[in-house]
Chains A and B, each alone.
Chain A
Amino acid sequence: MPIISVRDLVVEYDGRRVLDGLNLDIQPREVMVLLGGSGSGKSTLLRQILGLEQPKSGSISIKGTDITRCSHADLTKVRRSIGVAFQSGALFNSLSVEDNVALTLREHTALAPSIIELIVWMKLAVVGLADFGKLQPRELSGGMKKRAAVARALALDPEILVLDEPSAGLDPIVAAELDELIVFLKETFQITALVVTHELPSAFRIADRIAMLFNGRLLAVGTKDEILASQHPRVKQFLNRAPDNQVHAPAVAAYFEQYVRNPEANS
């Protein structure tokens, strides 16, 4: 039984359809990578799965609870089993790194402070930030912020880890470190991970399965090999990094001709 299952999801912003009847199943203990270009709707899908926005129609079940229709209390319960690392890290700037990780432990559990301290240290050690707990978020580099965000996401030992663009804006070495961290987490903690990215090398390094999004629809869902073997032109274009023909030469030429022929209208 899938741990996350999205059914016929339709999302519209001001009448513009962003997700169009999308279906996706994520199995327990797999790393699913959502791959897609800018504006393909992958961030929207992520926000829907996290219950941050309401869809126009369709349903999203997480661990058997339909989060589009459930009560606030049920949504809270589901959310406690999901750890999220946002694109910008979204660390609370008013708290130190340690306090960021400790926040949910302090407020959602009845653990003793000494135990919390230990857990926080362990989570920070997992992402390689054990010595940086006392720092403020603004003192961290971009890669460290993202790793700290992962540590915070792991605080309550979630079953599902959601990462939004973990390697965006990072240099290749730090991005590769984050990829290794995700693979390590999957192997060590048997975690289900949903990773949104547009970086191909990263996607192929970490994914068990890949879902390709384009214009609010899924073009292909499958293992790395299935995606590589896909004959869909858009998938091939994305994998080959081929640009769209954005400039239509005859149309531009016609416009200029018109302009030159009509000097009074333009003076």
Chain B
Amino acid sequence: MANLLEIAGRETLSQLDYVGSLHTQLWATLRGMRTALPLVGNRYRWRAAVRQMLEIGVDALPMVALLAVCSGFILAMQGASELRRFGALHYVIDLVAVGFTRELGPLLTAIAVSGRSGSAFAAEIGTMRVTEEIDALRVMAFEPVEFVLAPKFLAALVAVPCLGIVSNFFGILAGGLFMFFSTHLSLPLYFRYVLSSIELRDVSAGLIKSLAFAVIIAQVGCLEGFRVRGGPEAVGRSTTTAVVRSTFLVIVADAVFTTIFYFVGKT
């Protein structure tokens, strides 16, 4: 019994410790963010941020687009098979349009980015810890959070919402293709229906979610990297933990945001 309590206590403490360091790191990043901004900041950090944006955003484009097209088809077909029975096939358009802008677009993007870039952040920073590069930065009078994390954080904040929009577009396009092949609804007409069914609020809800997911992915990925202790095998573990934790937190955050938007939207 005492043993069980001990384990529970230790687990709680380690989780609290994790949340605490995530918090500290987030504030340190926000303080260091200024250096990564263009014009007012340090131009080397801004360049690093642009490079990161290309890596997080542009390199992930094909994957995110394909993912969105597949999920668009899935959503449209699953929806159609049910809605057809009620003769309400045109509601597939609303389903795909609203489902993607509010939910699936940001979520799919976040999962893809956490797998691609979250793990890359953890691996890069973890390797820098193992090879003493982080220590070298500190003795060279650089702040590691500012030097390494701030550009990645800024890049994620820009790239993830952009990818989310791309994902929305391709998902909705897939829905349009499905409608074209199943009911011969032309694409321009389909897009006009889509535009009438989504509101600005749906789009902004999706973008807010995307921003939150970007924060989670960048912070969790980098924190796992900074927490690496020991040798190369710890880097491997940290990349796995980074993906698992950030995906998990993304979905939890999604649930929280959806709940908030649900109640805000009702009034």
Contact = CB atoms under 8 A, between A and B. Distances in A.
A88 B129 CA distance: 12
A57 interface: no
B234 to A, nearest CB: 16
A90 interface: yes
A109 B25 CA distance: 28
A106 B44 contact: yes
A79 B131 contact: no
A190 B42 CA distance: 34
B139 A50 contact: yes
A86 interface: yes
Nearest to A87: B132
Given A79-B141, A80-B141, A107-B42, A52 B135 contact: yes
Nearest to B137: A92
Contacts of B140: 79, 84, 103-104
Interface residues of B, number: 13
B138 A52 contact: yes
A237 interface: no
Enumerate the 3 nearest inter-chain pairs by beta-carbon distance, A residue then B residue, closest first.
A90-B132, A90-B136, A79-B141
Give the contact-size bracket for chain A. 20 to 34
Contacts of A108: 141
12 contacts: A47-B135, A52-B135, A52-B139, A76-B141, A79-B138, A82-B139, A84-B136, A86-B135, A91-B133, A93-B133, A104-B140, A108-B141
A104 B135 CA distance: 14
A169 B136 CA distance: 20
Contact of B132 (A51, A80, A88, A103): A88
A111 to B, nearest CB: 15
Nearest to B140: A104
B142 interface: yes
A104 B137 CA distance: 10
Given A106-B44, A107-B42, A107-B44, A79 B133 contact: no
Interface string A77-105: 00110101011101111000000000110
Contacts of A47: 135
Interface string A139-162: 000000000000000000000000
A79 B136 CA distance: 11
Given A84-B140, A88-B132, A93-B127, 8 more contacts: A52-B139, A76-B141, A82-B139, A86-B136, A90-B131, A92-B136, A104-B140, A108-B141
Contacts of B44: 106-107
A107 B138 CA distance: 14
Contacts of A86: 132, 135-136
Nearest to A104: B140
Interface in B181-221: none
A80 B138 CA distance: 11
Contact of A90 (B42, B133, B141): B133
